[in-house]
A and B are shown apart, each in its own frame.
Chain A
């Protein structure tokens, strides 16, 4: 009876007293006990829960990515370095969720320090793709994506640096929203690339994404990069029936698996049917963003990880996994004396060009359509064949991440192997309400071709 209920639906059940928050919590805990051993979506389960019906999310259980500091609840960022770290403080995102009386089921697995796109660099074992246990769920928010798609949580929180919400949402077959940089506070999110990191929801439907965004978004005096701009009523925005212009850029269709390409093209037809216009646009090739993103992200990583010097947190630097070590070395190199201008500074200049490029395009169209990932879920272990696996997998997300623009990934079908395919809409700065609005229209029209429901029913 509860299986597959969305956050909005569960909230109605709680409000009408058809179910109590603690019953709901127990329901998910039972499912987690049953399925988590083979999926490995959760690293730490929550025991200390306070149930209240009031608040926008009163009694709603959520899965939280393990890079959000949660007061008293172990937070590791999936790294052995923080194996025993119990935060003495709460991240702004989780604090805002708690304020609305959401309850946390537990902390979900991720690529260690969010370094990766498969959740395989986790020091606590890979998370499996619920659609095929021999495959990865995507990453780095793979734990949350897996939990939501197998209904071990009705919704959850992830974070993106470039693609870490949208790509696992695509590979696991759920909705993933990456807001504008600065729309959601980073305070208490274990930093990866500070100029890029962005928390966001992974959900079963667009309404749920709007619901969560409305709670977590908005200015935070603890984050100097958070925007002072007031937030919109994202749920209200879904009620409008707007017509938009979608930009089609050839470079964003290059190198796609044929099933992915077909699915995205089919989505364009859906939007046309909904009355949207399309327009050909030119954008800088995402190819450029790969190196720019790699340099800036690695530089920030090497800096952000330097606090784990072995003096505090129990475990020393030997506990860093290979991927973190590689990133620290490359980042340190690019920031070194004599190399800074050639790498970091040049990358920042190209970043400015990318920003200008998007700004220009968004004067012509409302969205740019594409996919968050050119292929569907890979087999476990395959990432090691690619030296810059994450960067290649996220090539369509990196330009937008560099620019700081929002995007949403939606399931648009299954490929020949029965794996979910993702489509994405990217929009201009702070146009989350429009992105959600367009996504909602798509959802109502297609119901994601049953993908989300099918995923859940694999885990009755």
Chain B
């Protein structure tokens, strides 16, 4: 019986794939580029250089906000967040403090395995700039400013998660949504999607009411950084739950701190203890005038969204009568889902098409039209040449005495091999059930 319930909130960073950086004209795509070749006075933070915001990036962060069912703020602004670190060119990061572009969202995630739906609150979605990248080599540290100023979106959730599985599920859904919007690769290995769970444990006081109210949140939280896969998020959370439980069991309170994830040792380690709240001395960025968005413009952002994965799932179930688990698989990528829809629009056999796509019976590299032709060929009733079948079955049994004796000795699954052999000899022009039936009759 658990005495504690985990309380988990998430901070997710997503790098946008805009052509240029957030505040200058430098190319934003820095991956595998020669260090410090995509820089200018602005992203190097040279004296006197000024940031000019990238309109596209703002539009995209608003899209993300709208896709996460947030309210898009009509008034917004940038703020300076101060801290000193060698990766920060200006000594402050241009970020957003009290007027983020989007607030108060909600994401509903369906779990196809147990057919449950859960929904998680989104606190805010804001825009900031990425920092330079530090590389420690030998006794030196090298700074690469190619990444400095790349548009970075921060998504903050409510502390609505109570287990690692939900977190993983949510993050996977979030990644799919962002890829649907075509605003980021959201690739964790490349660092274009990063996440930091905040984990603490709440003591269970009475058996029923475990709804966490903000006022009742634990008096500490542990943030885990450097996680670059969904699997590691799950492991890190599970590790933290165990670690914190042990501390609480001893009657102590875990230290409020930032911990790193060591994927070799499969454990978290202390990075730095967090003061109550680090003083970033936020103040409105004077170099960028505040934004006022017209209602029409904000409405348009919502309207221009593509159909999102959860909407597609609902539609596939309602209109196509496709199984929920299949609808889930088909909607994991927008490209696949759109392919499926195209094929269905021609062939009008949604569930069969779903099966064929999911079981990879027909390559989706084909054009939808070709795919449909194959569908027709596969689904049309098989006319089996009985005589040929009978001969082939007999020949197959004779040619494979070892397999036949294995079958008789109880290795029932070798039958599929024999079915395969017959089908091959018949060039697929036989009904698999009939083949199976004939084989059994002849072996016994």
Chain A residues in the interface with B (C-beta under 8 A): 67-69, 75, 77, 82, 85, 87-89, 91, 186-191, 193-195, 221-225, 299-300, 302-303, 305-309, 311, 332, 335-337, 340, 344
B50–A306 touching, CB < 8 Å: no
Pairs A–B under 8 Å by Cβ, sample size 7: A87-B46, A189-B48, A191-B47, A194-B286, A223-B287, A224-B288, A309-B86
B260 at the A interface (CB under 8 A)? no
Which residues of A sit under 8 angstroms from B74, Cβ to Cβ? none
B255 sits at the interface (CB 8 A): no
Interface residues of B (CB under 8 A from A): 40-41, 45-53, 80, 82, 84, 86, 89-92, 143, 277, 279, 281-283, 286-289
Distance between A180 CB and nearest chain B CB, rounded to angstroms: 14
Looking at the complex, which one of B49, B52, B82 makes contact with A303 (CB distance below 8 Å)?
B82
A222 and B50 contacting across the interface, CB-CB below 8 Å: yes
Give every chain A residue within 8 A of B143 (Cβ-Cβ). Answer: 311
Which of B46, B90, B91, B279 is the one whose CB lies under 8 Å from A88? Answer: B46
Question: Would A332 and B281 count as touching, CB distance under 8 A?
Answer: yes
Determine the distance from Cα of A222 to Cα of B46 in the docked complex, in whole angstroms.
14
- Determine which of A82, A187, A309 lies in contact with B50 in the assembled complex, contact meaning CB atoms within 8 Å: A187
Question: CA separation between A299 and B287, bound complex, in Å?
Answer: 14
Cα–Cα, bound, A225→B287 (Å): 6
Q: A75-B47, A187-B49, A222-B52 are in contact. List 13 more A-B contacts (CB 8 A).
A: A67-B48, A77-B47, A88-B46, A224-B289, A225-B287, A303-B92, A303-B283, A306-B90, A307-B89, A307-B91, A311-B86, A335-B282, A336-B279
Q: Is the CB of A190 within 8 A of B47?
A: yes
Cβ of A310 to closest chain B Cβ, rounded Å: 10
Tell me if A303 and B51 are in contact (CB < 8 A).
no
- On chain A, the residues within 8 Å of B45 by CB distance are 307
Contact partner of A336 (CB less than 8 A), chosen from B49, B51, B281, B286, is B281
Q: Decide: A309 and B84 in contact? CB cutoff 8 A.
A: yes
Q: Which A residue's beta carbon lies closest to that of B42?
A: A222
* Contact present for B286 and A300 (CB under 8 Å): yes
Q: A225-B289, A306-B84 are in contact. Are A69 and B48 (CB under 8 A)?
A: yes
Contact B287 A224 (CB under 8 A): yes
Q: A340 — nearest CB in chain B belongs to which residue?
A: B283
The interface residues of chain A lying within 8 Å CB-to-CB of B282 are 335, 340
Whether the Cβ atoms of A309 and B91 lie closer than 8 Å is yes
> Which residue of chain A has the shortest Cβ distance to B51 in the bound complex?
A224
Contact between B47 and A224 (Cβ–Cβ < 8 Å)? no
A-B pairs with CB below 8 Å: how many? 95
What is the bound-complex CA distance between A88 and B46, given in angstroms?
A: 9
- In the complex, the answer to whether A335 meets B41 with C-beta atoms within 8 Å is no
Which are the 4 A-B pairs with shortest beta-carbon distances? A306-B91, A195-B286, A335-B281, A194-B286
Bound Cα distance A87, B52 (Å): 20
Indicate whether A344 sits within 8 Å of B286 (C-beta atoms), given known contacts A188-B48, A223-B52: no
Taking the nearest CB of chain B, how far is it from the CB of A110, in angstroms? 14
Query: Quick one: closest A residue to B52, CB to CB?
Result: A224
The docked-state distance in angstroms from the alpha carbon of A344 to that of B283 is 8
Chain B residues within 8 Å of A75, by CB? 47
Chain A: which residue is nearest B84 at the CB level? A309
- A69–B44 Cα distance when bound, in Å, is 15
Give bound CA distance, A135 to B138, whole Å.
Answer: 55
| Chain B binding surface, main DSSP class | loop
Report the minimal beta-carbon distance from A313 to chain B, rounded to whole angstroms: 8
B291 vs chain A, min Cβ distance (A): 11
Indicate which residue in B48, B53, B281, B283 contacts A224 across the interface (CB closer than 8 Å): B53
Assembly CA distance A224 to B22 (angstroms):
13
Which residue of the partner chain, among A77, A89, A335, contacts B46 with CB atoms under 8 Å? A89
Task: Tell whether A85 pairs with B47 under 8 Å between CB atoms, given A306-B92, A307-B90.
Answer: yes
Contact of A186 among B50, B53, B89, B281 (CB under 8 A): B50
Residue in contact with B41 in the complex, picked from A67, A88, A193, CB distance below 8 Å: A88
In the bound assembly, the distance between CA atoms of A300 and B49 in angstroms comes to 15
Whether B48 contacts A190 by the Cβ 8 Å rule is yes
Query: B92 CB to closest chain A CB, in angstroms?
Result: 6
What A residues does B52 contact at CB under 8 A?
221-224
- By beta carbon, the residue of chain B nearest A313 is B47
Q: How far is it, in angstroms, between the C-alpha of A302 and the C-alpha of B286 when the chains are bound?
A: 13
Within the assembled complex, what's the spacing in Å between the Cα atoms of A187 and B287? Answer: 10
Determine the chain B residues whose CB is within 8 A of the CB of A189 once the complex forms.
48
Considering the chains assembled together, what is the distance between the CA atoms of A68 and B47 in angstroms?
9
Q: In whole angstroms, what is the CA distance A378 to B63 when docked?
A: 59
In the complex, what distance in Å separates the CA atom of A13 from the CA atom of B52? Answer: 41
Write the nearest CB–CB distance from B415 to chain A, whole angstroms: 71
Instruction: Give complex CA distance A37, B45 in Å.
Output: 34
* Alpha-carbon distance A85/B45, docked complex (angstroms): 14
Are the C-beta atoms of A69 and B47 separated by less than 8 Å? Answer: yes
A191 to B53, CA, bound (A): 18
Q: Which of chain A's residues have a CB closer than 8 A to the CB of B287?
A: 194, 223-225
Write the nearest CB–CB distance from B407 to chain A, whole angstroms: 74
Bound state CA distance, A311 and B89, in angstroms? 9
Across-interface contacts of A187 in B (CB, < 8 A): 48-50
Does A303 lie within 8 Å of B80, measured CB to CB? Answer: yes
Question: Contacts of B89 on A, CB cut-off 8 Å?
Answer: 307
Residue of B nearest to A221 (CB): B52
Instruction: Give Cα A187–Cα B50 distance, bound, in whole angstroms.
Output: 6
Q: With both chains docked as a complex, state the minimum distance between the C-beta of A76 and any C-beta of chain B, in angstroms.
A: 10
Tell me the complex Cα distance, A243–B288, Å.
38
A195 cross-chain contacts in B, Cβ below 8 A: 286
A36 to B286, CA, bound (A): 37
Known: A303-B80, A303-B283, A337-B277. A188 touches B49 (CB 8 A): yes
Which residue of A is nearest B83, CB measured? A306
Q: Which residues of A contact B277 (CB under 8 A)?
A: 337
Given contacts A300-B286, A332-B281, contact A89 B41 (CB under 8 A): yes
Which B residue's beta carbon lies closest to that of A337? Answer: B279
Which residues of chain B are near A299, meaning CB under 8 Å? 283
Q: Which of A186, A194, A224 has the most CB of B within 10 A?
A: A224
Q: Which of A69, A225, A306, A344 has the most CB of B within 10 A?
A: A306
- Bound together, the chains give a CA A222 to CA B53 distance in angstroms of 10
